[in-house]
């Protein structure tokens, strides 16, 4: 997104009898490489046509309707007027319903994110809400309507401003118990020594989160490929695919010990890395040496 971000929603944050005018701006600018479908014979773009499944004839736009398929294969047709009658009231408020601890919200529930900027004439109430939320450590749970859709959202203070994150609803989150492999993993037995070694590996790889040091290497490679081909290059080298993987039997302890050693060595060699932490096995209460069963988390 080039230039200054543009507001996509204007309204106010409402809690109790307080209303604070705000504007919502996209908090994320997706960087994707977009392709068009091209006819290689003529180098022209390909247009999509709407055709009937019954006879293959092209369907005019005025004959296209929304249909919901029932389990028996029939369709229920729903027109625009019927859907419009169900639209939520087009209010211009982000209605705060409650405040919760940030740690209580599972990251699975986060969806889109928006920056909430204050109205120029009412910056003090905005700043007051930010300071109060920062000092309390609480996150507001709210509802608001944008483009005829009602959203559940978390409003949180971050670095002196408000961030509005839309949330998915509870019935949209897939229950992990529905994945049989996850249930099977909960029954796997691991020893105390294996857990201790895994903890050492985690400690040796632990550092401060710095998002700027990560980049989309695939997107960069695609753009480089496009640039090379645009300049006349025609030969493209295919990446070497390593064989094996899923069917290999791994000595878990040997792999963990080698990983810990490699992580320590990498930290020593990295010019900007902090010294590797002391990752000696943590002291544990004396107990019989026996296999430990990992229990399924709640």
Domain ranges of the chain: 9-30+87-172, 174-208+251-298
What 3-state class would DSSP assign to 22? strand
Query: How far apart (Å, rounded) are the C-alpha atoms in residues 6 and 26?
Result: 8
What integer is the mean pLDDT of 65-88? 90
pLDDT at 76 over 90: yes
DSSP state at residue 165: E
Contact 284, 292 (CB under 8 A): no
What integer is the mean pLDDT of 276-288? 46
Q: 10 Å Cβ neighbour count for 262? A: 13
Q: What is the pLDDT of residue 239?
A: 64
pLDDT at 152 over 60: yes
- pLDDT tens digits, one per residue of 16-49: 888 999 999 999 888 889 999 999 999 999 998 9
Where do the H-state alpha helices sit in the chain?
80-84, 123-136, 180-185, 192-205, 217-230, 252-269
Q: What is the pLDDT of residue 238?
A: 64
pLDDT at 276 over 50: no
What value does the mean pLDDT of the chain take?
83
pLDDT at 282 over 70: no
pLDDT at 277 over 90: no
Class of domain 9-30+87-172: mainly beta
Q: 10 Å Cβ neighbour count for 122? A: 14
Pairing of strands 161-167, 149-158: antiparallel
pLDDT at 292 over 70: no
- pLDDT tens digits, one per residue of 178-228: 888 888 888 888 889 888 988 988 888 888 989 889 898 889 988 888 888
pLDDT at 134 over 90: yes
What integer is the mean pLDDT of 265-291? 52
Which residues lie closer than 8 Å to 50 by C-beta, 6 or more apart?
58, 59, 61, 64
Q: Which of 56, 57, 53 is nearest to 67 (CA)?
A: 53
What integer is the mean pLDDT of 94-121? 93
Q: Higher pLDDT residue, 275 or 83?
A: 83
Cα angle for residues 278, 282, 284 (degrees, 5° grid): 170
Q: What is the pLDDT of residue 257?
A: 81
Q: Which of 166, 165, 173 is nearest to 108 (CA)?
A: 173
What integer is the mean pLDDT of 63-75? 93
Contact 100, 138 (CB under 8 A): yes
Q: φ, ψ for residue 180 (rounded to 5)? A: -60, -35
pLDDT band at 298 (very low <50, low <70, confident <90, very high): very low
Query: How far apart (Å, rounded) are the C-alpha atoms in residues 143 and 94?
Result: 6
- pLDDT tens digits, one per residue of 156-183: 999 999 999 999 999 999 998 888 888 8
Query: How far apart (Å, rounded) are the C-alpha atoms in residues 296 and 14?
Result: 41
What integer is the mean pLDDT of 69-81? 92
Q: Which of 70-74, 123-127, 259-263, 291-295 has the lowest mean pLDDT?
A: 291-295
Q: What is the pLDDT of residue 281?
A: 46
pLDDT at 283 over 50: no
Percent of the residues in the chain that have a pLDDT greater than 70, as a whole number: 83
- pLDDT tens digits, one per residue of 234-271: 766 666 666 655 555 567 778 878 887 887 777 776 65
């Amino acid at each position: 997104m080039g230039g200054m971000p543009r507001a996509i929603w204007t309204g106010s944050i409402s809690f109790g009898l307080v209303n604070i005018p705000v504007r919502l701006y996209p908090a994320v600018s997706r960087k994707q490489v977009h392709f068009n479908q091209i006819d290689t014979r003529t180098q022209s773009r390909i247009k999509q046509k709407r055709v009937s499944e019954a006879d293959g004839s092209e369907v005019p736009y005025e004959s296209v309707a929304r249909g919901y398929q029932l389990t028996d294969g029939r369709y229920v047709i729903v027109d625009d007027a019927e859907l419009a009658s169900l639209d939520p009231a087009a209010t211009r408020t982000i209605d705060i319903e409650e405040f919760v601890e940030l740690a209580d919200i599972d990251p699975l529930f986060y969806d889109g994110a928006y920056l909430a900027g204050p109205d120029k004439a009412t910056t003090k109430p905005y700043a007051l809400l930010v300071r109060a939320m920062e000092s309390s450590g609480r996150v507001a749970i709210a509802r608001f309507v944008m483009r005829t859709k009602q959203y559940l959202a978390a409003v949180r203070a971050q670095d002196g401003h408000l961030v509005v994150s839309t949330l998915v609803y509870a019935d949209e989150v897939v229950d992990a118990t529905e994945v049989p492999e996850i249930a099977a993993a909960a029954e796997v037995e691991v020893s105390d020594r294996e857990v201790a070694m895994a903890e050492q590996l985690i400690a040796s790889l632990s550092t401060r989160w710095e998002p700027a040091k990560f980049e989309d290497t695939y997107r960069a490679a695609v753009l480089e490929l496009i640039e090379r081909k645009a300049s006349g290059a025609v030969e493209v080298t295919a990446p070497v695919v390593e064989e094996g993987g899923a069917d290999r039997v791994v000595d878990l302890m040997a792999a963990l010990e080698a990983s810990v050693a490699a992580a320590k060595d990498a930290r020593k060699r990295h010019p900007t890395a902090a010294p590797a932490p002391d990752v000696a096995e943590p002291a544990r209460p004396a107990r019989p040496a026996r296999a430990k069963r990992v229990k399924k988390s709640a």
